[in-house]
Protein backbone atom coordinates (compact mmCIF):
# COMPACT_ATOMS: atom_id res chain seq x y z
CA UNK A 1 0.00 0.00 0.00
CA UNK A 2 1.02 3.56 -0.37
CA UNK A 3 2.93 4.80 2.59
CA UNK A 4 2.88 8.45 1.73
CA UNK A 5 -0.50 9.54 2.99
CA UNK A 6 1.10 10.88 6.14
CA UNK A 7 3.79 12.82 4.33
CA UNK A 8 1.69 15.91 4.81
CA UNK A 9 2.68 17.98 7.80
CA UNK A 10 1.29 21.29 8.94
CA UNK A 11 3.87 22.03 11.63
CA UNK A 12 6.39 24.76 10.83
CA UNK A 13 9.93 23.63 10.05
CA UNK A 14 12.84 26.03 10.41
CA UNK A 15 16.20 26.15 8.64
CA UNK A 16 19.09 25.94 8.44
CA UNK A 17 19.99 23.02 10.66
CA UNK A 18 23.02 23.61 12.90
CA UNK A 19 26.12 21.55 12.40
CA UNK A 20 27.47 19.83 15.51
CA UNK A 21 29.90 21.91 17.55
CA UNK A 22 32.43 19.11 17.54
CA UNK A 23 33.40 18.46 13.90
CA UNK A 24 33.01 14.91 12.73
CA UNK A 25 34.53 13.48 9.58
CA UNK A 26 32.16 12.18 6.94
CA UNK A 27 32.72 8.48 6.24
CA UNK A 28 34.27 7.37 2.99
CA UNK A 29 31.78 5.82 0.58
CA UNK A 30 31.90 2.02 0.42
CA UNK A 31 34.45 0.55 -1.97
CA UNK A 32 33.49 -0.14 -5.55
CA UNK A 33 31.76 -3.44 -6.06
CA UNK A 34 33.91 -6.52 -6.58
CA UNK A 35 34.03 -7.61 -10.22
CA UNK A 36 32.11 -10.82 -9.60
CA UNK A 37 28.97 -8.94 -8.62
CA UNK A 38 26.27 -8.54 -11.18
CA UNK A 39 25.95 -4.75 -11.12
CA UNK A 40 29.01 -2.76 -12.10
CA UNK A 41 28.77 1.00 -12.10
CA UNK A 42 30.82 4.07 -11.37
CA UNK A 43 30.73 5.66 -7.94
CA UNK A 44 29.09 9.06 -7.82
CA UNK A 45 30.03 12.27 -6.00
CA UNK A 46 27.96 11.69 -2.86
CA UNK A 47 29.73 11.43 0.47
CA UNK A 48 27.52 10.16 3.31
CA UNK A 49 26.97 12.62 6.13
CA UNK A 50 28.45 11.58 9.46
CA UNK A 51 25.58 13.20 11.31
CA UNK A 52 21.91 13.91 10.87
CA UNK A 53 19.82 16.43 12.75
CA UNK A 54 16.12 16.39 13.51
CA UNK A 55 14.25 19.27 11.89
CA UNK A 56 12.83 21.75 14.34
CA UNK A 57 9.07 21.61 14.69
CA UNK A 58 6.86 18.58 15.14
CA UNK A 59 8.71 15.47 13.92
CA UNK A 60 6.88 12.16 14.14
CA UNK A 61 8.67 8.88 14.83
CA UNK A 62 11.95 10.62 15.56
CA UNK A 63 14.73 8.07 16.13
CA UNK A 64 16.96 8.06 19.23
CA UNK A 65 19.46 10.88 19.60
CA UNK A 66 23.13 10.76 20.52
CA UNK A 67 24.62 12.88 23.29
CA UNK A 68 25.29 15.81 20.97
CA UNK A 69 21.64 15.99 19.93
CA UNK A 70 22.10 14.51 16.47
CA UNK A 71 20.45 11.29 15.33
CA UNK A 72 22.18 8.17 16.64
CA UNK A 73 22.54 6.38 13.31
CA UNK A 74 24.98 4.68 10.94
CA UNK A 75 25.64 6.59 7.70
CA UNK A 76 26.26 3.29 5.88
CA UNK A 77 24.15 0.21 6.55
CA UNK A 78 24.11 -3.41 5.39
CA UNK A 79 20.70 -4.70 4.30
CA UNK A 80 19.92 -8.41 4.12
CA UNK A 81 23.58 -9.03 4.98
CA UNK A 82 24.39 -8.29 1.35
CA UNK A 83 23.78 -4.74 0.20
CA UNK A 84 25.61 -1.66 1.49
CA UNK A 85 23.44 1.45 1.37
CA UNK A 86 23.61 5.00 2.62
CA UNK A 87 20.96 5.33 5.29
CA UNK A 88 20.18 8.82 4.02
CA UNK A 89 20.53 9.80 0.33
CA UNK A 90 21.15 13.54 0.90
CA UNK A 91 23.73 15.93 2.31
CA UNK A 92 23.00 18.55 4.97
CA UNK A 93 19.32 17.67 5.22
CA UNK A 94 17.34 17.32 8.42
CA UNK A 95 14.94 14.51 9.29
CA UNK A 96 11.38 15.79 9.24
CA UNK A 97 9.62 12.46 9.80
CA UNK A 98 10.71 8.98 10.79
CA UNK A 99 9.48 5.51 9.89
CA UNK A 100 6.36 4.12 11.51
CA UNK A 101 2.67 4.68 12.07
CA UNK A 102 1.65 8.29 11.74
CA UNK A 103 -1.82 9.74 11.97
CA UNK A 104 -3.28 6.26 11.83
CA UNK A 105 -1.51 5.04 8.71
CA UNK A 106 1.96 3.65 8.06
CA UNK A 107 4.73 5.99 7.01
CA UNK A 108 6.90 3.59 5.06
CA UNK A 109 10.02 5.68 4.76
CA UNK A 110 11.85 8.65 6.21
CA UNK A 111 11.46 12.28 5.14
CA UNK A 112 14.47 14.54 4.62
CA UNK A 113 14.41 18.28 4.03
CA UNK A 114 16.86 21.01 3.21
CA UNK A 115 16.56 24.58 2.02
CA UNK A 116 17.23 25.35 -0.70
CA UNK A 117 16.13 21.96 -2.05
CA UNK A 118 19.15 19.77 -2.70
CA UNK A 119 20.19 16.79 -4.77
CA UNK A 120 19.09 13.26 -3.94
CA UNK A 121 21.67 10.54 -4.59
CA UNK A 122 21.52 6.80 -5.20
CA UNK A 123 22.15 5.13 -1.85
CA UNK A 124 23.71 2.06 -3.46
CA UNK A 125 24.55 0.50 -6.83
CA UNK A 126 21.80 -1.18 -8.79
CA UNK A 127 19.44 -1.06 -11.74
CA UNK A 128 16.81 1.65 -12.02
CA UNK A 129 13.41 -0.06 -12.21
CA UNK A 130 11.05 2.89 -12.06
CA UNK A 131 11.19 6.54 -13.05
CA UNK A 132 7.82 8.21 -13.21
CA UNK A 133 4.83 9.59 -11.40
CA UNK A 134 2.84 7.35 -9.08
CA UNK A 135 -0.07 8.13 -6.81
CA UNK A 136 1.09 9.63 -3.55
CA UNK A 137 4.76 9.33 -4.38
CA UNK A 138 4.73 11.85 -7.19
CA UNK A 139 7.84 11.78 -9.38
CA UNK A 140 9.82 8.90 -7.92
CA UNK A 141 12.79 6.67 -8.68
CA UNK A 142 13.10 3.02 -7.62
CA UNK A 143 16.46 1.23 -7.69
CA UNK A 144 16.81 -2.56 -7.51
CA UNK A 145 20.04 -3.35 -5.64
CA UNK A 146 19.74 -7.12 -6.00
CA UNK A 147 19.64 -9.61 -3.10
CA UNK A 148 16.01 -8.66 -2.48
CA UNK A 149 16.78 -5.01 -1.68
CA UNK A 150 15.41 -1.88 -3.34
CA UNK A 151 15.19 1.83 -2.55
CA UNK A 152 12.65 4.48 -3.49
CA UNK A 153 13.10 8.26 -3.69
CA UNK A 154 9.80 10.14 -3.89
CA UNK A 155 8.34 13.65 -4.27
CA UNK A 156 11.15 14.74 -6.62
CA UNK A 157 10.80 17.93 -8.65
CA UNK A 158 12.89 16.59 -11.52
CA UNK A 159 15.35 13.83 -12.36
CA UNK A 160 18.84 14.24 -13.77
CA UNK A 161 19.58 13.53 -17.44
CA UNK A 162 20.19 9.82 -17.99
CA UNK A 163 18.10 8.68 -15.02
CA UNK A 164 15.78 6.21 -16.75
CA UNK A 165 14.36 2.74 -16.27
CA UNK A 166 16.88 -0.01 -17.04
CA UNK A 167 19.94 2.15 -16.41
CA UNK A 168 22.70 0.70 -14.23
CA UNK A 169 23.72 3.16 -11.54
CA UNK A 170 26.47 3.26 -8.94
CA UNK A 171 26.69 4.43 -5.36
CA UNK A 172 26.10 8.12 -4.82
CA UNK A 173 25.07 9.21 -8.28
CA UNK A 174 22.78 12.19 -8.68
CA UNK A 175 19.13 11.15 -9.18
CA UNK A 176 17.22 14.40 -9.00
CA UNK A 177 16.10 17.27 -6.81
CA UNK A 178 13.87 16.90 -3.77
CA UNK A 179 10.48 18.45 -4.42
CA UNK A 180 6.81 18.44 -3.59
CA UNK A 181 5.28 16.19 -6.25
CA UNK A 182 2.58 13.74 -5.22
CA UNK A 183 1.09 13.85 -1.74
CA UNK A 184 3.43 16.27 0.00
CA UNK A 185 2.75 19.61 1.63
CA UNK A 186 6.37 20.74 1.71
CA UNK A 187 9.50 20.17 -0.34
CA UNK A 188 11.36 17.07 0.84
CA UNK A 189 12.43 13.61 -0.28
CA UNK A 190 10.66 10.49 0.99
CA UNK A 191 13.21 7.68 1.13
CA UNK A 192 12.30 4.00 1.44
CA UNK A 193 14.41 0.89 1.96
CA UNK A 194 12.42 -2.08 0.62
CA UNK A 195 13.06 -5.80 0.93
CA UNK A 196 11.48 -8.93 -0.52
CA UNK A 197 10.85 -10.75 -3.74
CA UNK A 198 9.88 -8.87 -6.89
CA UNK A 199 6.58 -10.46 -7.90
CA UNK A 200 3.92 -9.85 -10.48
CA UNK A 201 3.27 -6.41 -9.02
CA UNK A 202 6.93 -5.43 -9.11
CA UNK A 203 8.01 -3.00 -6.44
CA UNK A 204 4.52 -3.13 -4.92
CA UNK A 205 5.30 -6.65 -3.67
CA UNK A 206 8.21 -5.44 -1.55
CA UNK A 207 8.06 -4.54 2.15
CA UNK A 208 9.23 -1.23 3.56
CA UNK A 209 11.74 -1.24 6.41
CA UNK A 210 13.19 1.40 8.69
CA UNK A 211 16.57 2.48 7.25
CA UNK A 212 17.86 3.04 10.78
CA UNK A 213 17.03 -0.53 11.82
CA UNK A 214 19.82 -2.15 9.78
CA UNK A 215 23.34 -2.85 11.09
CA UNK A 216 26.22 -0.50 10.34
CA UNK A 217 28.57 -1.25 7.50
CA UNK A 218 31.97 -2.28 8.81
CA UNK A 219 34.72 -1.54 6.24
CA UNK A 220 36.91 -4.17 7.88
CA UNK A 221 34.22 -6.82 8.07
CA UNK A 222 32.83 -9.24 5.53
CA UNK A 223 29.54 -9.06 3.68
CA UNK A 224 27.45 -11.93 2.48
ZN1 LIG B 1 7.47 10.38 3.74
Residue 4 alpha carbon to ligand 1 centre in Å: 5
Contacts of 134 (CB under 8 A, 6+ apart): 140, 182
- Among 114, 116, 120, residue whose Cα is nearest residue 140: 120
Nearest-angstrom CA–CA distance, 143 and 193 = 10
CB-neighbour burial class of residue 167 (10 A; exposed 0-12, middle 13-18, buried 19+): middle
Reported as a single tens digit per residue, the pLDDT across 19-43 is 666 667 888 888 776 656 677 788 8
Residue 57: per-residue pLDDT: 84
Residue 5: per-residue pLDDT: 42
Residue 46 alpha carbon to ligand 1 centre in Å: 22
Residue ranges per domain, the chain?
A: 38-209
Residue 118 alpha carbon to ligand 1 centre in Å: 16
Reported as a single tens digit per residue, the pLDDT across 50-99 is 889 999 888 999 999 988 888 999 999 999 998 999 999 999 899 999 99
Length of the chain: 224
pTM (predicted TM-score): 0.89
Residue 184 alpha carbon to ligand 1 centre in Å: 8
Residue 69 alpha carbon to ligand 1 centre in Å: 22
Reported as a single tens digit per residue, the pLDDT across 138-194 is 999 999 999 999 999 999 999 999 999 999 999 999 999 999 999 998 999 999 999
Residue 33 alpha carbon to ligand 1 centre in Å: 30
Reported as a single tens digit per residue, the pLDDT across 204-217 is 899 999 999 999 99
Residue 51 alpha carbon to ligand 1 centre in Å: 20
pLDDT at residue 223 greater than cutoff 60: yes
Residue 107 alpha carbon to ligand 1 centre in Å: 6
At residue 76, the 3 state secondary structure works out as strand
Residue 38 alpha carbon to ligand 1 centre in Å: 31
Task: Find out whether the peptide bond into 116 is cis, omega within 30 degrees of 0.
Answer: yes
Residue 42: per-residue pLDDT: 85
Q: What is the dihedral of CA 178, 21, 28, 74, to 10 degrees?
A: -70
pLDDT at residue 2 greater than cutoff 50: no
Domain 38-209 -> CATH class = mainly beta
Amino acid sequence: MLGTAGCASTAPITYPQPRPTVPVADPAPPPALPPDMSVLAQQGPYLPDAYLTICTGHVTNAPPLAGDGTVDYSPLIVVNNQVVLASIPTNNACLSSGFGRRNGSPHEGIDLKSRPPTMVFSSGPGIIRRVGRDNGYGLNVVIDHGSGVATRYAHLSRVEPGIAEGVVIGFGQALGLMGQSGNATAIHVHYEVLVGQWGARGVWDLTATNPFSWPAYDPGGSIG
